Amino acid sequence: MTRLFLEGPLTRQDLSRRTGLSQPAVSNVVSDLIDDGIVAEAGALESEGGRPSMMLRVAPDYGTVAGVDVGETRVRVELFDLAMRRLADADHPIEPGGTPPEAVAQHILAGLAGVTGNRAPLGVGVGVSGIVQQRPEGALVHAQTLGWEAVPLEAMLRAGTGLPLHLDNGAKTLGQAEMWFGAGRGRRHAVFALLGSGVGAAVVTNGVSYRGASSSAGEWGHTTLVYGGRPCRCGSRGCLEAYAGAEAVLERYREQAGRPAPGQDEESRLTALVGLAAGGEATARAVLDETAGYLGAGVANLINLFNPEVVVLGGWAAVALSGLLPRIREAARRHALRQPYEQAAIELGRLGLDAVALGAATLPLARFLIEGGACPSSGGPGAS
């Protein structure tokens, strides 16, 4: 099922070759899946002679999956069919400093009610800031920058929905989406950076997400960039996030310009800052030049540590700062070792603002595919 979803449409002969199963075994399994409505025919493959082979795919209309992006500026909930086409979405802005877990849980539940209507999705994936600790009784979220310590977010959501839930770190869900559908497709070694209010990353090595001993691997934003440098929200000093996260970029502009960037919220203010720089304002240009340098140095650290084929920059702040990419590449070139730098591409994500929610939706989808179409159970992240 997973191979058919990711590589389809495929013929029965393709599936036999790629899975190592005999053609009769593949035909029996496919017939059952077609009878259940999970697999559908997708047209005949032209043949130079003999009977044409029928192409197969996972049936897009068999069910739906929901993905949730819990950011620091908004909670975004999206509903997808099994071709990962977005069917509905809901946005719930978060007021500055307004990230108590109870409010976030209510935003998620309201968003799910809004996008699902009478449709019960196969499952819900949630991408959230911080470290997600998987436990049989429900995932805990440790998000130090938000003041969340061992927050039982899964249990809080279960109080309002009976849908199967899958929670993971937002950078990791972005990474899975880009691996399946975007800039990481076809790569075995990649790093995906999530740039928003803060900074995070997901590391994929040999096609598998690297999580570390307790799933906290990838806290790139809290690696030290400047010893004894600017205070970071995590309580340390000199972290990359204290220089390159959107909140920090806007604070550095406010300090240097003596006034905040115009706008009603963090996203609009960062967009305005980019506009000011494009219009020639010296302070805005200086702050963004510094930001490109900090990000480039951070990317160089990723290249030196992990030797990836590609470093992908995603998230809403990466979209807003996309014009900095040439300067980020140049700064990375200056700071990285020559040989691994020459092997690594530095690219923008291809999935835009939907990447975290789309990746979150792949969590229940991955479980559904692994279980061959059985109703997914709740639990931890899906397979890579």
> Domains in the chain, ordered, with CATH?
2-58 (1.10.10.10), 64-173+354-370 (3.30.420.40), 184-350 (3.30.420.40)
Question: Which tens digits make up the pLDDT trace of 223-270?
Answer: 999 999 999 999 999 999 999 999 999 999 999 999 999 999 999 999
C-alpha to C-alpha distance for 359 and 125, rounded to whole angstroms: 8
pLDDT of residue 373: 64
Would you say residue 107 has pLDDT above 50? yes
Query: How high is the pLDDT of residue 146?
Result: 85
Mean pLDDT, the chain, whole residue set = 92
User: Residue 182 pLDDT more than 80?
Assistant: yes
Query: How many whole angstroms separate alpha carbon 302 and alpha carbon 340?
Result: 10
pLDDT of 274 above 50: yes
The rounded distance, in Å, linking the Cα atoms of 197 and 298 is 16
Residue 161 has pLDDT above 70, yes or no: yes
pTM for the model stands at 0.89
Rounded Cα distance between 233 and 109, Å, is: 28
As a whole-number percent, the residues of the chain with pLDDT over 70 amount to 94
> 22-36: per-residue pLDDT in tens?
988 988 988 999 999
Q: Are 209 and 175 in contact (CB under 8 A)?
A: yes
Query: Residue 375 pLDDT > 80, yes or no?
Result: no
Burial level of 106, CB count in 10 A (0-12/13-18/19+)?
Answer: middle
CA angle, residues 50, 52, 54, in degrees to nearest 5: 150
- The pLDDT of residue 328: 98
Contact 157, 111 (CB under 8 A): no
